Structure 1
Amino acid sequence: MRELLLPKYNTNDEGCVLAGWTVDDGAAVSADAVVAEVETAKAVEELVADTDGVLHRLVEAGAHCEFGRPVGLLFDSHRERDDYLANLDGTPGSGEGEHDGPVLSAAAQTLVQEHGIRAEQLRALGKRMVKAADVQRLIDQEPAAADVVTLSPRQRAVAAVVTEAHRTIPAAFAAISVDLTTFRATRADAAPYGLVELLVKAIAARHAEFPLFFATPGADHTLTLAPDANVGVTIDVGTGLFIPVLRDVARRPIGDLTDDLMDFRVSALRQNFREEAFAGETITLSLHNDPDIVLAMPIVHPGRTCVVTLCAERSEVALTADGVPFARPVTTVTVTYDHRYLNGRDAVRFLGAVKQDLESADAIARLAG
């Protein structure tokens, strides 16, 4: 018998959700066969068997599991598994004695601990062997005193990052208004890209001039400079927040970025990102461009020195040189930055350079070319 261990899929999480088993309990599986799908805070991963065997599940689908812990057992034969089940030594339902109460399966014991099921409730079932489904029926029968929502593993991961960011990063903030008249004119020519892609290119174009905006903080007040501009873009289509990475932005055609962003949105809807989609980020673009959002100040993620934000497009009244009012399209671009490494003057210069690229016909043509 060998334990089927849950590998550590990433360094940010302590565990993940076993989204579903792909083979039946008691089925024979071969080495390298996919036996389950697990959901981390960022991606859906496949759990594979590391050897041939007969599968015995230890946890139910939907359970939260810690990395490095067994979620199943692999037996050499069906007979070995049957012998194991016949001699299963579970944990008693109460702490009053080893045999005072029914025997619980591992999954049932987990539910009992999570939901505070009492020993007398378990004994009232009248069963010697209590499984997770039996405990779940007890849970469903319990009257709810109030509606309580448990955060998803992904949202718990977000909570951990936000807490760490607010605890350790002294953030500052700057914002600039960008005139979109010239950009709108390029869109009138049916340009096959949007403002997000153009802003990504404009950010990457400033990598050499502002290297500390793309750097990674280290120990003893050091920064590791990035060789390339890899821009992480926030994607939230209602299934949770993801930050996949557009790599090597400066050297890639803008049409490739458009395709990648569309693929990111599809992956977010299907929740089937792979871990490599989030690797290599050197700067973050946070999209707050839903209608009427005029300003946003997101957190600076640990490991980054800043985050750039794009707000919604809107109309603004301006005056001609002769004092005649007219309406023009504008947006707000902001930067939240770690004040230990970047200063206000640097932030203003960086935003001014990005604004210049977004407002200049020549710069737009260069970035989109």
Structure 2
Amino acid sequence: MYEVAVPRLNGNDDTCRLIEWTVPHGGKVDEKDPIAVVETSKAASEIYGDGDGILHHAVPVGAECRVGQIIGYVFADEQELQEFLAAWPEEAVAPVAGTAGPGPDRADYTLTGPARRLSEEAGLTDEQLRSLGKRIIREADLEPLIRAAVPDRGTALPPRQRAIARQVSRTHQTVPDAFVAVKVACDALLDRLRVLNAEHQQTMGLPEAVIKLLAGLKPAFPAFFSHLSDGEHLSAPGTGVDIGVTVDVGTGLFVPVVKDAQALTVNEVADLLMEFRIKALRDSFHEDDLSGGQLSVSLNTDPGVLVAVPIILAPQVAMVSLAAVQTELVLEEGTVVERRHFTAGLAYDHRAVNGREAVDFLTALKTAVETPQEAGL
């Protein structure tokens, strides 16, 4: 059994309203699907479970809920549910039913955040939105309205691709970005990873190691882990090191965040990246998985990729790119030997970082990769 609690959805609201149970009382929970929808002052957000099971509602639709409040329980099977009910007073776990209406001062529909943005971009009217007949309107629900408005404009981009397009467009419009890249020898790092993989019986590669090594650079280069929200003031978004990493397994591009990377071992980072890939396959990321990044890493490690120029995820000020490992022949003391290397790139916001600092940052990363044990790996 696990508890379903209200997460903190933004920095402004300590409470929210439960506006929909998307899984009925006693219904089956699938971890990749939302359990409930809550509404804050900003938008509606979906709440997901941490695993499959049977859902027990603990609060009714329409209830005001505080952050951290338990609103339901998910049980592994019917036996566990009955044991739980038998052990608690009836009034503490009594099923709740029914649906609270919108009330006299509330709209009869609610837009999720992405749906609200798309609705505003498309110029949809209140009458059109009401015509959908939905209490909760999600981005995908707006497709019929948009197609009807402009029926001959072709196939619409999927919602997630439109979100990526908006991010890229904002970056190009607002961020004066620059780019620099360095060649990084990686024989020592790959040899070290082979030893660690044998010790832990695990598969750890270049992305996991670079994320861990990047975390160690924050004390010397704090600006690269900062946010530039208004174009003039840098702010530190956290005391730890939270590093975003691109994940694309064919279901769309996600940038989940490795939280407190400085406190993790490289094998723990590997476990987390595997978890991210599984969530990407199931399309089951939670909002918290994708928020809070200070610096991000763009993985472009398919064979043959020489260099990649990433997009800065504002308000972050930098994004590192990793290209594929290449092999070259070099002459050492009269002998031809093979050496491996990759290209590390850095896109940076020129308002916050200058070229000399960018080169120093990449040089520090290069040194850490080429001397992994001295860097603490």
Report if TM-score (shorter chain) is over 0.5: yes
Is residue 53 from structure 1 mapped to residue 98 from structure 2 by the alignment?
A: yes
TM alignment of 1:115-130, pairs within 5 A: 115-116=147-148
Q: 1:359 aligns with which of 342, 353, 370?
A: 370
- 1:94-128 CA distance string (max 9 Å, x none): xxxxxxxxxx8747x978754449xxxxxxxxxxx
Is residue 335 from structure 1 mapped to residue 343 from structure 2 by the alignment?
A: no
Structure 1, unmatched stretches of 5+, are 1-7, 12-19, 25-32, 38-42, 70-90, 93-103, 118-143
2:137 paired residue number = none
- Report the 3-state secondary structure (helix = DSSP H, G, I; strand = E; otherwise coil) of the residue aligned with 2:209: helix
1:181 Cα offset (Å): 1.2
Q: Is the 8 A contact 1:229 1:247 kept in 2?
A: yes
- 1:256-283 CA distance string (max 9 Å, x none): 1111111111111111111111232111
Question: Which amino acid is the alignment partner of residue 326 of structure 1?
Answer: V
Q: CA RMSD in A?
A: 4.1
Task: Give the distance between the partners of 2:208 and 2:143, measured in 1 at CA.
Answer: 47
2:91 paired residue number = none
Q: 1:297 aligns with which of 297, 309, 321?
A: 309
TM alignment of 1:79-228, pairs within 5 A: 106=133, 113-116=145-148, 148-191=154-197, 192=202, 193-219=204-230, 221-225=232-236, 226-228=238-240
Question: Which amino acid is the alignment partner of residue 354 of structure 2?
Answer: N
Task: Give the distance between the partners of 2:142 and 2:258, measured in 1 at CA.
Answer: 40
Question: Which amino acid is the alignment partner of residue 369 of structure 2?
Answer: L
Call closer, same or farther: CA 1:337–1:113 in 2, change over 3 Å. closer
Q: Is the 8 A contact 1:44 1:271 kept in 2?
A: no
1:332 Cα offset (Å): 0.9
Call closer, same or farther: CA 1:23–1:231 in 2, change over 3 Å. same
Q: Is the 8 A contact 1:36 1:46 kept in 2?
A: no
1:35 Cα offset (Å): 6.2
Call closer, same or farther: CA 1:350–1:150 in 2, change over 3 Å. same
Which structure's CA Rg is the greater one?
1
Task: Give the distance between the partners of 1:176 and 1:353, measured in 2 at CA.
Answer: 11
Question: Which amino acid is the alignment partner of residue 345 of structure 1?
Answer: R
Structure 2, unmatched stretches of 5+, are 1-7, 12-20, 26-33, 39-44, 50-59, 64-96, 102-107, 120-126, 135-140
Task: Give the distance between the partners of 1:251 and 1:284, measured in 2 at CA.
Answer: 17
Q: Is the 8 A contact 1:34 1:49 kept in 2?
A: no
Question: Which amino acid is the alignment partner of residue 330 of structure 1?
Answer: H
Is residue 259 from structure 1 mapped to residue 271 from structure 2 by the alignment?
A: yes
Task: Give the distance between the partners of 2:173 and 2:192, measured in 1 at CA.
Answer: 43
Q: Percent identity?
A: 30
Question: Which amino acid is the alignment partner of residue 327 of structure 2?
Answer: S
Task: Give the distance between the partners of 1:114 and 1:156, measured in 2 at CA.
Answer: 14
Question: Which amino acid is the alignment partner of residue 315 of structure 1?
Answer: T
Task: Give the distance between the partners of 1:220 and 1:244, measured in 2 at CA.
Answer: 25
Q: Is the 8 A contact 2:317 2:352 kept in 1?
A: yes
Task: Give the distance between the partners of 1:320 and 1:239, measured in 2 at CA.
Answer: 45
1:30 paired residue number = none
Call closer, same or farther: CA 1:342–1:35 in 2, change over 3 Å. closer
TM-score (norm 2): 0.63
Call closer, same or farther: CA 1:200–1:50 in 2, change over 3 Å. same
